[in-house]
C-alpha cells in the first residue's frame, strides 16, 4: 500500500463529522472530508421503540450532506446490518459517486434501492478484503473483520495527513463460521506504520472479558435438538446469517426440514444462498405452507420477530394467528437474540403468549443460545494495543459507552510517547486533524428524521414523511378502554384530533365514523390480542391510518391509547 503524506505534513485540515451513532445506538453515519472531497462511511437507520408514535424508521438528518452537495464523492459500507445500510436509499440520491461494499453488503442494499425506486446504475462497486480504491485525495483499504454477519470490513483510509482506521462493527471471532479470520496482523502492521486515528466500535465496552465465537451456541443447540420431541422454532435477527448456517447444519444432522418464516428472513437467506454465504443441503428447505403437512419432530422453523414486533412472524404464531405455523405442548421456541433496549416488555408479552400455547420458551438466560456480534472490553483493548493510534475516537454507542471506551483507551495506551489523544465526540462534532494535532473544532446541524412507511399487509409502500410536517397532516389520538376481565370495549372509543384541517361538519361525521371503525377493529381482534396493548395498538394504528388516508387523503400521526380497566 502506498503511504501518502509521509514526507512533510501538508497544510490542510482533515474534517471528520459523525452524523449518527455517536450518542445513540443505530443510524451510524460519518463524513470524512479533505478540501473538496467528502467520503461517507455507512448510512444506517435506527429502529424506534415498539410503541413509538407511528414511526417506522429513524435516519440521520441529511442536511449536512445536502450542503456538501457534489463534494460527496463516495459511500463506503462496512457491513450489511440495517444500522449501517438502512438509510442508503435516502442518501444515494444526494450524491453521484460510487458505493463501495463487499458483495453481500451490496446485495443486501439492492432490494432496498428497488423498493424505493432509487436507480443503482453501476454505482454499486463490490470490493473485498485487501482491495484498495482511490477517491480524490483518499486511498481506502478494506480489511476483514468478524461480526455476526459475513462480509464485514474495517476501513483504513489514507489521507494527506496519515491513515485513519474505522473498525466498523466487530468482535474477534478466532473460529468464524465461514473460516475467514479477522485480519489482526494487518491491524498490527497499520500500528507499526503509524496510525493517525482509530475510530472503534464501543457497543459492548461495558461487558467484561471476551465476547467469543459464534460457534459457542452449537453446544446449547445440540442439546436442544436432541431433547425436543415436537416442533422447534428459533427466532433470530434476519441478518444473523452465521446463526442461520449453524442451525441449518444442525437441522441436517438431526433430520429436520427447515422453513424460513418472515419476509426479511426469506429475502436475506435467498441473497446469502445466491452469493454462497449460506449453504443448504438439497431437499432440506421447505416452504411455510409445507409445515402443516410435516410431523412436528421433523420441523425447524427459523422466524423473525425476536424483538416482539407486533407484525412479525413470532408474534402472529404466539397468538395462534399465523396461516401455517402453530405451536403447542412438546414444541419449543428458542429466542436466539438479545433484546434491543426498549423492546423488553414486548418480548416478554410474546413469550407469555407462546407459553399459553403450551410451548416451552428457551432464552439466553436459560441456555447459551445467543452470542453477541460486538467485542467486549478485552477485544476492544486488543485492537487498541495492536493499532497504537495517535488519536482515538470511540464510535457506535450512547454517550456512556463512548466515555467508557475513552477511559479504557486512556488506560491501555497510557505511558506512550507521544501520549495518545482521546477525543470524546458526539454526533455533529467537527473533528479537525491538522499539522498541530486534532481537536473538536465546532458543530454542524445534526438530528433525526423520522420515517413513517404505511404498511398494508404484505405490500410495503414506503413514504418519506418528515415529522417536522406533522402540523400539516395533524395528529389523531384514539383512546379506547378495554375491560380486562371480559376483554370487551368499555364504551365507544374517543377520537381526539388536532391540526386536521376539515370543515367542522365533515370532521364531526368523520370522527364518528372513525370511532366505529376503531370499535370494529378492536372487536374483530381475538380476546388475547385485545388484551395485548402492543399488538392491539399496532393493529388499531394501521387500521386508523388506512381509514384516514382513504377518507381524507391525509396521513395524520395516529396515536392509539389503550387503557385496561
Q: Please say whether the beta carbons of 557 and 53 come within 8 A.
A: yes
Site for a copy of itself in 429-448 (CB under 8 A): 445-448
Q: Cell 386508523 belongs to which residue? A: 544
Question: Which residue from 514, 511, 495 is spatially nearest to 503, judged by alpha carbons?
Answer: 511
Interacting span for a copy of itself (CB under 8 A) from 118-126, 149-157, 185-193, 484-492: 484-492
The answer to whether 351 contacts a copy of itself (rule: CB under 8 A) is yes
- Cα–Cα dist 143/155, whole Å: 6
Q: Which of 71, 125, 207, 546 binds a copy of itself (CB under 8 A)?
A: 207
Q: Which of 2, 121, 208, 282 binds a copy of itself (CB under 8 A)?
A: 208
Q: Which is nearer to a copy of itself, 32 or 478 (CB)?
A: 478
- Cα–Cα dist 429/244, whole Å: 39
The answer to whether 298 contacts a copy of itself (rule: CB under 8 A) is no
The answer to whether 468 contacts a copy of itself (rule: CB under 8 A) is yes
Q: Which is nearer to a copy of itself, 100 or 548 (CB)?
A: 548
Q: Which of 13, 189, 311, 403 binds a copy of itself (CB under 8 A)?
A: 403
Q: Which of 352, 435, 437, 508 binds a copy of itself (CB under 8 A)?
A: 352
Q: Which three cell numbers stand for residue 232?
A: 422447534
Site for a copy of itself in 30-49 (CB under 8 A): 49
Radius of gyration of the chain (CA): 25
Q: Which of 9, 132, 460, 471 binds a copy of itself (CB under 8 A)?
A: 471
Site for a copy of itself in 486-525 (CB under 8 A): 490-491, 494-499
Q: Which is nearer to a copy of itself, 39 or 540 (CB)?
A: 540
Interacting span for a copy of itself (CB under 8 A) from 39-47, 128-136, 381-389, 469-477: 469-477
Q: Which is nearer to a copy of itself, 119 or 358 (CB)?
A: 358
What are the backbone dihedrals phi and psi of residue 306, each rounded to the nearest 5 degrees, phi first? Answer: -65, -15
End-to-end distance of the chain based on CA atoms, in angstroms? 68
User: What is the DSSP pairing of strand 29-34 with strand 14-20?
Assistant: antiparallel
In 227-369, the DSSP E strands lie at 232-235, 257-261, 285-286, 299-303, 332-335, 360-362
- Say which residues have a Cβ less than 8 Å from residue 323's Cβ, sequence separation at least 6: 288, 289
Which helix (H) or strand (E) segment is 220 a member of?
A: helix 217-227
296 CB neighbour count, 10 Å cutoff: 17
The answer to whether 464 contacts a copy of itself (rule: CB under 8 A) is no
Q: Which is nearer to a copy of itself, 115 or 399 (CB)?
A: 399
Helix (H, G, I), strand (E, B) or coil at 433: strand
- Cα–Cα dist 311/313, whole Å: 7
Interacting span for a copy of itself (CB under 8 A) from 147-155, 173-181, 259-267, 397-405: 397-405
The answer to whether 407 contacts a copy of itself (rule: CB under 8 A) is yes
Question: Which residue from 565, 454, 551 is spatially nearest to 495, judged by alpha carbons?
Answer: 551
Which helix (H) or strand (E) segment is 248 a member of?
A: helix 241-253
518 CB neighbour count, 10 Å cutoff: 23
We find the least distance from the C-beta atom of residue 421 to a copy of itself, in angstroms, to be: 17
The answer to whether 399 contacts a copy of itself (rule: CB under 8 A) is yes
Catalog residues that contact a copy of itself under the rule CB under 8 A: 23, 49, 53, 61, 206-208, 339, 341-342, 344-345, 348, 351-356, 360-361, 363, 365-367, 398-400, 402-404, 407, 428, 445-448, 450, 466-468, 470-471, 475, 477, 479, 481, 483-485, 490-491, 494-499, 559, 561, 563-565
Amino acid at each position: 500500500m502506498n503511504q501518502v503524506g509521509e514526507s512533510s505534513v501538508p497544510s490542510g485540515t482533515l474534517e471528520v463529522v459523525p452524523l449518527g451513532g455517536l450518542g445513540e445506538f443505530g443510524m451510524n453515519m460519518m463524513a470524512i472530508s479533505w478540501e473538496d472531497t467528502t467520503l461517507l462511511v455507512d448510512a444506517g437507520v435506527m429502529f424506534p421503540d415498539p410503541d413509538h408514535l407511528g414511526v417506522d424508521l429513524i435516519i440521520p438528518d441529511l442536511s449536512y450532506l445536502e450542503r456538501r452537495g457534489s463534494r460527496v464523492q463516495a459511500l463506503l459500507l462496512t457491513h450489511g446490518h440495517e444500522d449501517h445500510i438502512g438509510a442508503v436509499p435516502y442518501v444515494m440520491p444526494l450524491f453521484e459517486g460510487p458505493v463501495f461494499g463487499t458483495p453481500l453488503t451490496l446485495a443486501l442494499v439492492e432490494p432496498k434501492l428497488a423498493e424505493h425506486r432509487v436507480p443503482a446504475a453501476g454505482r454499486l462497486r463490490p470490493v473485498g478484503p485487501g482491495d484498495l480504491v482511490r477517491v480524490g485525495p483518499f486511498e481506502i483499504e478494506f480489511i476483514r473483520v468478524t461480526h455476526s454477519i459475513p462480509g464485514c470490513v474495517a476501513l483504513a483510509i489514507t489521507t494527506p495527513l496519515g491513515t485513519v482506521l474505522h473498525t466498523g462493527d466487530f468482535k474477534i471471532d478466532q473460529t468464524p463460521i465461514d473460516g475467514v479470520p479477522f485480519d489482526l496482523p494487518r491491524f498490527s502492521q497499520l500500528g507499526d506504520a503509524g496510525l493517525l486515528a482509530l475510530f472503534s466500535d464501543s457497543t459492548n465496552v461495558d461487558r467484561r472479558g471476551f465476547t467469543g465465537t459464534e460457534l459457542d451456541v452449537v453446544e446449547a443447540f445440540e442439546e436442544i435438538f436432541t431433547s425436543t420431541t415436537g416442533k422447534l422454532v428459533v427466532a433470530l435477527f434476519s441478518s444473523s446469517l452465521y446463526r442461520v448456517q449453524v442451525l441449518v447444519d444442525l437441522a441436517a444432522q438431526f433430520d429436520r426440514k427447515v422453513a424460513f418464516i418472515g419476509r426479511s428472513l426469506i429475502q436475506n437467506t435467498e441473497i446469502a444462498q445466491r452469493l454462497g454465504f449460506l449453504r443448504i443441503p438439497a431437499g432440506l428447505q421447505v416452504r411455510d405452507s409445507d409445515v402443516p403437512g410435516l410431523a412436528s419432530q421433523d420441523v425447524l422453523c427459523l422466524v423473525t420477530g425476536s424483538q416482539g414486533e407486533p407484525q412479525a412472524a413470532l408474534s402472529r404464531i404466539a397468538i395462534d394467528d399465523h396461516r401455517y405455523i402453530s405451536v403447542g405442548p412438546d414444541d419449543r421456541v428458542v429466542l436466539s437474540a438479545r433484546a434491543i433496549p426498549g423492546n423488553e416488555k414486548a418480548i416478554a408479552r410474546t413469550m407469555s403468549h407462546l407459553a399459553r400455547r403450551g410451548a416451552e420458551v428457551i432464552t439466553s438466560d436459560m441456555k447459551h443460545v445467543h452470542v453477541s456480534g460486538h467485542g467486549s472490553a478485552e477485544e476492544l483493548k486488543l485492537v487498541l494495543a495492536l493499532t497504537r493510534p495517535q488519536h482515538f475516537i470511540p464510535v457506535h454507542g450512547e454517550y456512556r459507552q463512548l466515555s467508557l471506551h475513552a477511559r479504557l483507551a486512556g488506560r491501555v495506551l497510557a505511558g506512550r510517547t507521544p501520549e495518545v489523544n482521546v477525543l470524546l465526540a458526539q454526533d455533529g462534532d467537527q473533528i479537525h486533524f491538522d499539522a498541530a494535532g486534532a481537536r473538536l473544532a465546532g458543530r454542524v446541524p445534526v438530528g433525526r428524521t423520522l420515517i413513517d412507511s404505511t404498511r398494508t399487509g404484505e405490500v410495503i409502500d414506503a413514504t418519506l414523511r418528515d415529522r417536522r410536517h406533522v402540523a400539516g397532516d395533524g395528529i389523531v389520538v384514539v383512546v379506547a378502554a378495554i375491560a380486562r376481565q371480559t376483554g370487551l370495549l368499555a364504551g365507544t372509543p374517543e377520537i381526539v384530533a388536532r391540526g386536521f384541517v376539515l370543515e367542522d361538519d365533515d370532521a364531526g361525521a368523520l370522527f364518528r365514523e372513525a370511532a366505529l371503525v376503531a370499535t370494529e377493529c378492536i372487536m374483530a381482534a381475538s380476546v388475547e390480542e385485545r388484551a395485548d396493548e402492543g399488538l392491539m395498538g399496532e393493529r388499531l394504528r394501521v387500521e386508523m391510518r388506512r381509514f384516514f388516508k382513504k377518507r381524507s387523503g391525509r396521513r395524520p400521526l395516529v396515536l392509539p391509547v389503550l387503557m385496561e380497566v
